[in-house]
Amino acid sequence: MTQTSPATSAPAAPSTWQVLPAPVPDALDHPDAWALHGAEVVSREVDVDTYGHEDLAFTAQYLWARLQEQEYARRLRLVAVPTGITHPTAADVVGSASVVLPRHSNQHVAHVSVTVRPSARRRGAGTALLLAAEELALADRRTTVILESEHGSEPAPDRPGVLEPASGAGRIAADDPGAALCLRHGYALEQAARYSVLDLPVAPDRLPALHDAAAARAGEDYRLVSWQDHAPDRWVDGWAHLETRMSTDEPQAGLDLEEDPWDAARLRRYEADIAASGHGYLLVAAEHVHSGALAGFTMVQFQLDRPGPVFQEDTIVVAEHRGHRLGMLMKTDLLRRLPAVRPGAGRVHTWNAEENAFMLGINVALGFRPAGVAGEWQKRLGSAPGGARAAAPSSAR
């Protein structure tokens, strides 16, 4: 697909990489699944290098399941292997990139992430993958690329070379590999998201105290409902509405994103994809008793064959129901239900925009500790071929 030569100062061999789209066979035991198995190994090695653990690493099954969902976004996984290899295997994969091109909204955006095995770095594989991803984005008439970088810690404010995002909250070290690659390729740091971990079980008196205080504030106007893996029909439209609101209510700094509408069909597809990736989910929502509408929800996912890690997904309380401690009420309720659903759960992983003071406040009170930071970077690709939509300033959106 793309070949690049590394800079002359880079180590000599291998001198070039080929970037290939990962084949997506019907099953993972098919020989064509080599690229997805290779991408899993890359993900594990990168996570151990970045965070010191594999909790967040993508399994081949997860990657495969994500690629099945092509209805709401065109999704591709790219892999980098040394040039000259005609029949690559998983062991040849030195790096991998994800490219997501939304189909129903945000049709100007490409979401990209790039990772390279620590042992293969500074030899141009990251650049080759990023350029191939940008090429795909341009060919699909995308004008904005949003790139994510991951870092094991947030640097001290007085450390030389600290970058502050356009949002004004959080910090990223400019010489961290992910940041360096983004800067080299002309990306602007828009936002920093704090990665935090909550070790389980939570101290015994903490959850009841927080839950009772939140319940006292929420009063009789709200009632909690909960489900696992399959939403009752009664709640699907309400949940879809909350997901749509999530796409605009979450702080997005200067990221050029527009509303992403959800409906019942998309939620059912989302549930099917969660199951296909070998995951389950647990959700707690707050019903506004008077109107029967959902005021908010919080949700976690977990890999069914790995008892320890739990992943916090979306949490939202819609604007008209804020100020009643529903966020804390739903989260404490979910954490109290979790041991029955996942008896071996050892920790919850979450990400929050650094400027999202309310959500961070809830998480800090629950006992989440900082464990890293993710950067959200953005670049305009300029005019795409074929008279594509002109890049608009984010204020115009």
Ligand X SMILES: CC(C)(COP(=O)(O)OP(=O)(O)OC[C@H]1O[C@@H](n2cnc3c(N)ncnc32)[C@H](O)[C@@H]1OP(=O)(O)O)[C@@H](O)C(=O)NCCC(=O)NCCS
CB of 316 to ligand X, least distance (A): 27
CB 39 within 8 A of CB 21: no
* Residue 289, CA atoms < 13 Å, CB-side half-sphere: 7
C-beta of residue 246 within 8 angstroms of C-beta of residue 359: no
| Identity of the residue, 185 or 269, whose beta carbon is nearer to ligand X in the bound complex | 185
304 binds ligand X (CB under 6 A): no
Residue 274, strand partner residues:
none
38/178 with CB nearer ligand X: 178
CB of residue 61 vs ligand X: minimum separation in angstroms? 21
* Under rule CB under 6 A, residue 110 binds ligand X: no
Q: Closer to ligand X at the Cβ: 129 or 246?
A: 129
Of residues 392, 314, 302, 290, the one with CA closest to residue 344: 302
Give me the least distance between CB of 280 and ligand X, in Å please.
Answer: 27
Between 116 and 286, name the residue whose CB sits nearer to ligand X: 116
- Write the interaction track for ligand X spanning residues 180-219; mark x where CB under 6 A is met and - where it is not: xxx-x-----------------------------------
Distances 99 to 34, 45, 47, 140 between C-alpha atoms, Å: 19, 20, 19, 11
Closest approach, Cβ 126 to ligand X, in A, equals 2
Region from 18-26, 145-153, 221-229, 264-272 binding ligand X, contact rule CB under 6 A: 145-153
Q: Give whichever of 46 and 137 is closer to ligand X, judged by the CB atom.
A: 46
The phi-psi region of residue 42 (left if phi > 0; otherwise alpha if psi is between -120 and 50; otherwise beta) is alpha
Return all residues near 251 (Cβ < 8 A) that are at least 6 apart: 167, 191, 353, 355, 356
Applying the rule CB under 6 A, the residues between 147 and 186 that interact with ligand X are: 147, 149-150, 175, 177-178, 180-182, 184
| Amino acid type, 135 | E
98 binds ligand X (CB under 6 A): no
Q: How many CB atoms lie within 10 A of CB 318?
A: 19
234 binds ligand X (CB under 6 A): no
Helix (H, G, I), strand (E, B) or coil at 26: coil
Binding pattern for the stretch 32-61 against ligand X, x by CB under 6 A and - elsewhere = --------------x---x-----------
- Strand 109-116 to 144-151 pairing: parallel
Distance between CA atoms of residues 281 and 271, nearest Å: 9
Name residue 81's beta-bridge partners: 18
Enumerate binding residues for ligand X (CB under 6 A).
7, 10, 46, 50, 114-116, 121-127, 147, 149-150, 175, 177-178, 180-182, 184
